[in-house]
Amino acid sequence: MHISLGVNGQPVEADVEPRLLLVHYLRDLLRLTGTQIGCDTTTCGACTVLLDGMAVKSCGLFSVQAAGREITTVEGLAPHGHLNPVQEGFKECFALQCGFCTPGMVLASIALLTSNPDPTEDEIRWALSGNICRCTGYANIVRAVQWAADKMRATGPAPTGMGAILAANAAPGPSQGGSHGAQGAHGGRDGA
Ligand code: FES
Ligand code: FES
């Protein structure tokens, strides 16, 4: 099947088998390998991306289901090095861990903060309950989301995808103290 969609603000087209999962389309055809595969059974959240701003598990969708939609992967969050506030929060609060779970954690957090700019700790933990870390813990991740929420309430939400690229192009470089980028939406949670 022929599909057209947007990925990180760029239009893409492809001929795909109807059975091709979105995660394999992103990783194998587009080489966007920041989207991870941890289970292939919609359990771990490592494959989380934003679909029209909603957090979804890309191992649970066919690529044809993304036709006509906008996908944001972790590669689309920091054009030209302008970190998304959630990425900044992960850095500031030492929430960066193995790199396998982190992209999905970040994208799910962005989706949460778009729909709920001032979440409680319980709401953060619930929103991230479909994203599993197998080796450490969640305390610093919760702090990172709270840090990002504080920043986004103070400075306004940041865009993703093409909006982030346009914002980054209009801003001074990171070394010049430029602005940041992010946005998202909610959804795709499987529960704890
Ligand atoms: S690889 Fe998709 S949820 Fe685990
Ligand atoms: S799975 Fe990513 S730090 Fe444990």
Question: Are 53 and 113 members of one domain?
Answer: no
Sheet bearing 54-57, strands edge to edge: 10-15, 2-7, 70-72, 48-51, 54-57
Reported confidence tier of residue 190, pLDDT bands at 50, 70, 90? very low
CATH code for the domain in which residue 136 is found = 1.10.150.120
Q: pTM score, two decimals?
A: 0.83
Question: Are 89 and 164 members of one domain?
Answer: yes
Q: Which range of residues forms the domain containing residue 86?
A: 79-172
Reported confidence tier of residue 161, pLDDT bands at 50, 70, 90? low
Atom in ligand 1 nearest the alpha carbon of residue 45: 3
Is the CB of residue 59 below 6 angstroms from any atom belonging to ligand 1? yes
Question: Are 104 and 27 members of one domain?
Answer: no
Return the best residue to mutate from 59, 61, 73 for the ligand 1 pocket (most ligand atoms within 8 A of CB): 59
38 CA distance to ligand 1 centroid (A)? 5
The structural domain count of the chain equals 2
161 within a domain of the structure (yes/no)? yes
- Which positions ≥6 away from 108 have C-beta within 8 Å? 45, 48, 55, 127, 128, 130, 131, 188, 189
179 within a domain of the structure (yes/no)? no
Q: What is the mean pLDDT of residues 144-151?
A: 97
Is the CB of residue 43 below 6 angstroms from any atom belonging to ligand 1? yes
Question: Are 31 and 47 members of one domain?
Answer: yes
Mean pLDDT over all residues of the chain? 86
Q: Report how far apart, in Å, the C-alpha atoms of 123 and of each of 7, 42, 116 are.
A: 29, 21, 9
Q: Which ligand is nearest to the CA of 106?
A: 2
Helix (H) / strand (E) containing 168: helix 161-170
68 within a domain of the structure (yes/no)? yes
